[in-house]
Structure 1
């Protein structure tokens, strides 16, 4: 058991150092677990695949801190559960906003809502892509990785106040971009942005 622990510790250190073969090993080992766990929670193959991708991307992004993890399986389990729950909350919120924007629709149309959600996601992506580099980093860490201002400040080696200023400027610019887009999707994106503050 101790030998396995040492092997996993060495493996995590290699992964923290950015070794792609170590990440491939993690992918092969945990991909089936993440997928089946997400599938059990969501009963959706598509969402489960999205969760696998999100979890693995977050692990790679946060790889430098992996060497300090004592129980990788528990860490991945918790991260997968959080991704599923956050995704479900986000989806419920988006569907609610879509219903508010289109109250006259009598029937529930999952295909139309999925297309609208995809259009919304693309619009937000374009809005964020036009931000200055530091604002983009802060926005993505906050909105995509779900980090708090203190954590972002520590990672970027800047003050919490600077993080707050970058975030406020980023939100202003993104909202301006969405307003200039001038359609219902832009309005929906602004509502979503406000709801996540």
Structure 2
């Protein structure tokens, strides 16, 4: 039965994709949620797995065990998600010093200074990178949504975002507190 659905899916049959989506979504989501303990990351993982299945649909008929294939793909993406979560938690710990080590006035002044530095850095990015970065961070759009709005591929969005983050990190390292600025960049408007 599954082989027939894979054949139909490889031919672009959206109802076959819907069947696989309905069948595997609960497993992918619960596995990702259990491993990451993060609803947004689990949802991103589900989306990534399903997009990969659709994009690679022509290779699916050659898979003997779709459940195992999806399990492995999900596990790999979960590991990447866990690394991202650990990185974010480290930044949060660094951003929020122990109580009593700085005054609220000092923190507010530092926050304003870091926001201004980030604003300057974003404005130095090439136009397309600025658009992608702002749509992701300020508007909270996912890569797929940005791709649709800008009429570019999801991979192009990902490349623009990676290039923007590299440029921002480099600028912030040269002009300010690397960890504090990066934390503002990643956390203040992270979606």
Q: TM-score when scaled to structure 1?
A: 0.52
2:155 is matched with 137
* 1:61 matches 2:55: yes
Match for 1:104 among 93, 97, 103? 97
Matched residue count:
144
Offset at residue 175 of structure 1 (A)? 4.0
Q: How far apart, in 2, do the equivalents of 1:186 and 1:59 lie?
A: 38
Distance 1:97 1:71, change over 3 A: same
**Correspondence list, 1:65-76, <5 A:** 65-76=59-70
Offset at residue 40 of structure 1 (A)? 3.1
Offset at residue 80 of structure 1 (A)? 1.4
Offset at residue 60 of structure 1 (A)? 1.8
Offset at residue 170 of structure 1 (A)? 8.1
Q: Which runs of 5+ in 1 are unaligned?
A: 1-6, 108-118, 141-166, 193-197
Deviations 1:34-90 (A, max 9, x none): 223223323455543443233222222222222221110000111111121110101
Distance 1:183 1:13, change over 3 A: farther
Q: How far apart, in 1, do the equivalents of 2:60 and 2:34 lie?
A: 26
Q: Tell me: higher relative CO, structure 1 or 2? Use CA pairs within 8 A at least 6 residues apart.
A: 2
Offset at residue 138 of structure 1 (A)? 5.8
Q: Which runs of 5+ in 2 are unaligned?
A: 101-133, 187-191
Of residues 52-61 and 63-72 in structure 1, the stretch that sits farther from structure 2 once superposed is 52-61
Distance 1:29 1:173, change over 3 A: closer
Match for 1:33 among 24, 27, 31? 27
Indicate conservation of the 8 Å contact 2:17/2:54, yes or no.
yes
Q: Find the structure with the greater CA-based Rg.
A: 2
Indicate conservation of the 8 Å contact 1:15/1:22, yes or no.
yes
Indicate conservation of the 8 Å contact 2:6/2:60, yes or no.
yes
Indicate conservation of the 8 Å contact 2:36/2:81, yes or no.
no
Indicate conservation of the 8 Å contact 2:9/2:17, yes or no.
yes
Q: TM-score when scaled to structure 2?
A: 0.53
